[in-house]
Structure 1
């Protein structure tokens, strides 16, 4: 039973008949892709020779057998099958910043990047994610995060609306106090109000 992968590697279920007596490992992998019409990218670090007979296996079992025997890793991104040496595996600690882990993981799943062989593990409570895997997998992980961060930064931010200044007029007996923003600014009494043209007291005007 195979683990769940991201993009589905289009391999037939029929047996893969391939006779190898003494062949370069990279050449055998390249021929594997040619026979199954799959583009293959093989790292220069994939070295070795295949000697002896390989039993008749399904294409997936053939690929996994070579992976186990020669300490390799493979990853299919939906277009190209990447094969690299296990020693090329990378580990990254990524900072999510404003991106939630759930949104990050959902994007990886929707884009068929997630692969159970190479888990993405969140660090508790501090916005960090630890990822490990072959170079192509790590590159897609980083590209996805960078894309999500760019989208988040492009979102319009709510501008701070200046608080409306409160103005109150307090009346007490013959005195009037104007309070602006919680601070008393003007104090009037009936005696302090200037007279109008008719000789009466002027009224307070509101602005």
Structure 2
């Protein structure tokens, strides 16, 4: 019985982590009628209907125009539009960013004095972590490799800097006999 309860708890924790970067409206039913709209207009309508601020790439999103679809979840619809536009999305808890695949960046970041596990745990707690994007760690070096949109990389950089600052300001008091 204890093993079963432990497994249930384990799967609940895993499923809660998988949903971290998901907007509140992800499972909301969504019905779209194209009316010959462009992908850009479909995304603007989606943003309005979900009451979520949206940031689009500066240059136009090209791709196949969306068609009328059966009802699906808002997240499925967003993924559908992004596939048509050869783009991806990132939600920072407030704003939805649409990023063209060509605008995905790579960065190597030093994480000296920060454990990789602690960093990933912190990113998940702050709902910054998104499993769509890559964060790899070299176990012998204090660096991580990040692949994702600029806003994602900047958010991780800010968190690492704040964490370093906190650790630098920490005072260790050692008691003992000399």
Q: Give the TM-score normalised by structure 2.
A: 0.79
Pairwise CA distance, 1:109:
1.3
Which of 6, 26, 36 aligns to 2:50? It is: 36
Kept in 2: contact 1:46–1:85 (CA 8 A): no
The equivalences for 1:4-23 within 5 A come to: 4-11=18-25, 13-23=27-37
Pairwise CA distance, 1:50:
5.1
CA RMSD in angstroms comes to 2.5
Pairwise CA distance, 1:5:
4.2
The equivalences for 1:78-157 within 5 A come to: 78-156=93-171
**CA 1:123 to 1:29, structure 2 compared with 1: closer, same or farther past 3 Å?**
same
Pairwise CA distance, 1:18:
1.8
Pairwise CA distance, 1:101:
1.4
Max Rg structure: 1
Q: Name whichever structure is richer in strand by fraction.
A: 1
Q: Name whichever structure is richer in helix by fraction.
A: 2
State the alpha-carbon separation in 1 of the partners of residues 19 and 38 from structure 2. 28
RCO comparison, higher one (Cα < 8 Å, 6+): 2
Q: 1:172: which partner in 2?
A: none
Query: Which secondary structure does the structure 2 equivalent of 1:22 belong to?
Result: coil
**CA 1:144 to 1:52, structure 2 compared with 1: closer, same or farther past 3 Å?**
closer
Kept in 1: contact 2:105–2:147 (CA 8 A): yes
Pairwise CA distance, 1:91:
0.8
